[in-house]
Chains A and B, each alone.
Chain A
Amino acid sequence: MISSILIYGLVNSVVLALIAIGFSLTFGISGVANFAYGALYLLSGYLTWMLLKYAGLPLVLAVPIAIAIVGLLGFVIYWIILLRVRGIVLSEVIATFALGVGMLEFFRWKGFVTYEFTLPYFKKGMLLIGGVPVDYQRLFIIGIGLALVLFLYFFTHHTRIGWSFRGIAQNQRTAISLGIEPDWTAALSLAFGSAMAAVAAISILPLGIISINMGYDVLLIAVAVGIVGGLESVPGILVASLILGYCQFITSMYLSAEWMMVVYLAAIVLVLAIKPSGLFGKFKELEERV
């Protein structure tokens, strides 16, 4: 019992971290709250599904192509839509929110709602860990989650693009004066965030069927984890996803599955009411509050 809570709670937490990391990366760097995140997540699922089904590509090929396309789309969204409303928070939020809702409802209209929309497992089968059966896909998710966090750490600390990301995030004006191009950086951050949504989608979606409402749920999860952890800190996201992941798993075990979303939503509202900068967010604290 305890070991199953520990293991599945951990899987749950990694799922949350995977979902949240792209959203929070984009927000942390460029200050754009990408409300189209849930739609991009679902889009990558459908895209992979179509590449597998219609183009007949093997999974190994379809996955990088889908990730690349969604990443590119994030880049394009920045240049076409966000660049024109940059700095007007209201317009940024409305534009990305409308884009997300539009994409999701378009999928719904196209009839992407039946049971045939599933992504394949990377590898079938399961393992017994401490007497609890865990299938390989969930182990892959933990592996991918860890790999992504490590990659992000090395990327932001040891590459030029990563440095410029952090520079822009810390102080935009100083970064500009040092010759870092803010629009390129912001567009890249959006592209990275979208690509991470795709990575998350492709590893998580095989666990269930792809449904439209997941798009809204994913956005809420990303927002919830980001808010609880502090929107620009990677350790904050990890801690927040552990807290929320276990809370949610225990809630679904002892109450019912319907209460799962209530956990996130209540977490968002409570954290914003009590400590708006989140558990680990620091340097934007003054700007967020009045």
Chain B
Amino acid sequence: MAVRYRKERLDRGIKARCEDMFALSSYREMLYLLLPRVLPVVALLTFPLLKGVVGLYWEKVLVITCAIALLALSWDLMASVGLVSLGQAVFFGAGAYLTGFLNNSLGWPCFLTIPCGTVGGALFCTFLLLPVLRLRGVYFAIVTLTLPLLFARFIEASKILGGNEGLSALSPLPNLWFELYVPVLAVLVCLFGFRRLINEDYGLVLQGIRDNDLAVMSGAINIYKFKAQAVFVAGLAGAFVGAFMTHYYRFVGMPAFALDYSILPLTCAVLGGVGTFAGPTLGAFILVPLSEALRTFGTLRVVFYSAILIICVVGLPEGIFHYIQRKYHQFERLIEVG
């Protein structure tokens, strides 16, 4: 009879030690805890300084990467409450158009328009989604898929806010450092902020709503209030990207509601690992530079994202980040099955 094995996973000793106060007992343990957190932060903060080495083009790619990472983070926050969105573009578009309107029609400077666009866009989207927050699964996905298209067609048909041509010649961002560091800092704030949020008691309720909303309701918790708050926080991240990119491109138009801003964050989140926040960020930092490198292929890039998305959803449902995390914290060995 053939000997059969199964894989056993055990936590590394260092992980077990780091879970309590022994973490402070040696440099090795401190590094074990700090390195995975500090390294990306340092890398992100130094990258804009390396302009002379990597060139302006890749610095611009960093901005787009951060933008997509923020959208992916906001997608992940909504997914943590069980709201699966197929249209992050609606947040992007709302922030972008509000900012564009404030800048173009009222002539506000970008120090005012970006905060106003962020908060206003998030509020607008929250109120918009308020009546549909009770929907589940597919139905919520359908609404979110529809909304960006609805806005794009509505603006096209009614010719408000510049109609098809959009609003152009908006005021630029003050300088390159501002352009590079604001999105980087925003990503870091959202990444660590959201991680903290979801690990608090408050986040526990959010996860509870995702896992079993009826149980949370039976605990006398108003789940719609929590869902609305989560959508607002996710909307802040999404609308901020829209507001920032409007001034970055100095233009806002139909592309603000494009499918790219919905499907790319989704791909990043699924590739990186849903529910960890670090995963979607990691996914964005893999996919967006890759897609810049593939720019010559034109629309084939979307095919490429779709293929990654299908392969990840079907074949690697846990995502890259979960895989790395497991390898970091645990070791595997084969043991005989009797």
Find out whether the CB atom of A94 lies under 8 angstroms from the CB atom of B309. Answer: yes
Q: Is the C-beta of B23 less than 8 angstroms from some C-beta in chain A?
A: no
Q: Is the C-beta of B56 less than 8 angstroms from some C-beta in chain A?
A: no
Q: Is the C-beta of A60 less than 8 angstroms from some C-beta in chain B?
A: no
Q: Is the C-beta of A196 less than 8 angstroms from some C-beta in chain B?
A: no
Nearest CB of chain A from residue B8's CB, rounded to whole Å: 25
Nearest CB of chain A from residue B306's CB, rounded to whole Å: 3
Which A81-110 residues have C-beta < 8 A from chain B? 81, 84-85, 89-91, 93-95, 97-99, 101-102, 105-106, 108-109
Find out whether the CB atom of A261 lies under 8 angstroms from the CB atom of B149. Answer: yes
Find out whether the CB atom of B157 lies under 8 angstroms from the CB atom of A258. Answer: yes
Find out whether the CB atom of B302 lies under 8 angstroms from the CB atom of A105. Answer: yes
Q: Is the C-beta of A141 less than 8 angstroms from some C-beta in chain B?
A: no
Chain A residues with CB below 8 A from B237, complex form: none
Q: Is the C-beta of A245 less than 8 angstroms from some C-beta in chain B?
A: no
Q: A102-B306, A102-B307 are in contact. Are A290 and B217 (CB under 8 A)?
A: yes
Q: Is the C-beta of B125 less than 8 angstroms from some C-beta in chain A?
A: no
Q: Quick one: closest B residue to A32, CB to CB?
A: B138
Q: Is the C-beta of B115 less than 8 angstroms from some C-beta in chain A?
A: no
Chain B residues with CB below 8 A from A290, complex form: 134, 136, 213-214, 217, 223
Find out whether the CB atom of B314 lies under 8 angstroms from the CB atom of A89. Answer: no
Find out whether the CB atom of B139 lies under 8 angstroms from the CB atom of A84. Answer: no
Chain B residues with CB below 8 A from A147, complex form: none
CB < 8 Å neighbour of B266 from A94, A259, A272: A94
Docked pose: A274 CA to B143 CA in angstroms: 12
Find out whether the CB atom of B153 lies under 8 angstroms from the CB atom of A258. Answer: yes
Q: A109-B299, A261-B153 are in contact. Are A272 and B142 (CB under 8 A)?
A: yes
Nearest CB of chain A from residue B304's CB, rounded to whole Å: 8
Most chain A Cβ neighbours within 10 Å, of B142, B305, B315: B142
Chain A residues with CB below 8 A from B299, complex form: 105, 108-109
Q: Is the C-beta of B38 less than 8 angstroms from some C-beta in chain A?
A: no
Nearest CB of chain B from residue A240's CB, rounded to whole Å: 15
Docked pose: A101 CA to B40 CA in angstroms: 33
Of A2-10, A156-164, A262-270, the segment with at least 4 beta carbons within 8 Å of chain B is A262-270
Q: Is the C-beta of B147 less than 8 angstroms from some C-beta in chain A?
A: yes
Q: What are the interface flags for A254-290 relative to B under an 8 Å C-beta threshold, 1 for contact and 0 otherwise?
A: 0110110110011011001110100000000001111
Q: Is the C-beta of A227 less than 8 angstroms from some C-beta in chain B?
A: yes
Q: Is the C-beta of A33 less than 8 angstroms from some C-beta in chain B?
A: yes
Q: In the complex, how many residue pairs between chain A and chain B have their CB atoms under 8 Å apart?
A: 128
Nearest CB of chain A from residue B167's CB, rounded to whole Å: 19
Docked pose: A98 CA to B305 CA in angstroms: 8
Chain B residues with CB below 8 A from A234, complex form: none
Chain A residues with CB below 8 A from B44, complex form: none
Q: Quick one: closest B residue to A257, CB to CB?
A: B157
Docked pose: A273 CA to B211 CA in angstroms: 23
Which B282-338 residues have C-beta < 8 A from chain A? 297-300, 302-303, 305-307, 309-310, 313-315, 317
Q: Quick one: closest A residue to B214, CB to CB?
A: A290
Q: Quick one: closest B residue to A105, CB to CB?
A: B302
CB < 8 Å neighbour of A276 from B135, B145, B315: B135
Nearest CB of chain A from residue B84's CB, rounded to whole Å: 5
Q: What are the interface flags for B100-122 relative to A under an 8 Å C-beta threshold, 1 for contact and 0 otherwise?
A: 00000000000000000000000
Q: Quick one: closest B residue to A212, CB to CB?
A: B299
Find out whether the CB atom of A273 lies under 8 angstroms from the CB atom of B132. Answer: yes
Q: Is the C-beta of A18 less than 8 angstroms from some C-beta in chain B?
A: no
Q: A93-B84, A223-B146, A262-B153 are in contact. Are A289 and B134 (CB under 8 A)?
A: yes
Docked pose: A91 CA to B157 CA in angstroms: 34
Chain B residues with CB below 8 A from A119, complex form: none
Find out whether the CB atom of B313 lies under 8 angstroms from the CB atom of A85. Answer: yes
Chain B residues with CB below 8 A from A105, complex form: 299-300, 302-303, 306
Q: Is the C-beta of B259 less than 8 angstroms from some C-beta in chain A?
A: yes
Find out whether the CB atom of A89 lies under 8 angstroms from the CB atom of B138. Answer: yes
Find out whether the CB atom of B146 lies under 8 angstroms from the CB atom of A268. Answer: yes
Find out whether the CB atom of A85 lies under 8 angstroms from the CB atom of B149. Answer: no
Q: A94-B309, A265-B153, A273-B131 are in contact. Are A287 and B146 (CB under 8 A)?
A: no
Q: Is the C-beta of A16 less than 8 angstroms from some C-beta in chain B?
A: no
Chain A residues with CB below 8 A from B298, complex form: 109
Q: Is the C-beta of A220 less than 8 angstroms from some C-beta in chain B?
A: yes
Find out whether the CB atom of A89 lies under 8 angstroms from the CB atom of B135. Answer: no
Docked pose: A255 CA to B317 CA in angstroms: 47
Q: List 6 A-B contacts (CB under 8 A).
A: A95-B310, A265-B150, A269-B132, A269-B143, A276-B139, A290-B217
Additional A-B contacts beyond A98-B310, A102-B307, A290-B214 (6; CB < 8 A): A81-B310, A99-B306, A109-B298, A227-B142, A265-B150, A290-B223
Residue positions of A touching B, CB distance < 8 A: 33, 81, 84-85, 89-91, 93-95, 97-99, 101-102, 105-106, 108-109, 216, 220, 223, 227, 255-256, 258-259, 261-262, 265-266, 268-269, 272-274, 276, 287-290
Top 3 nearest A-B pairs by Cβ distance? Answer: A102-B306, A265-B150, A273-B131
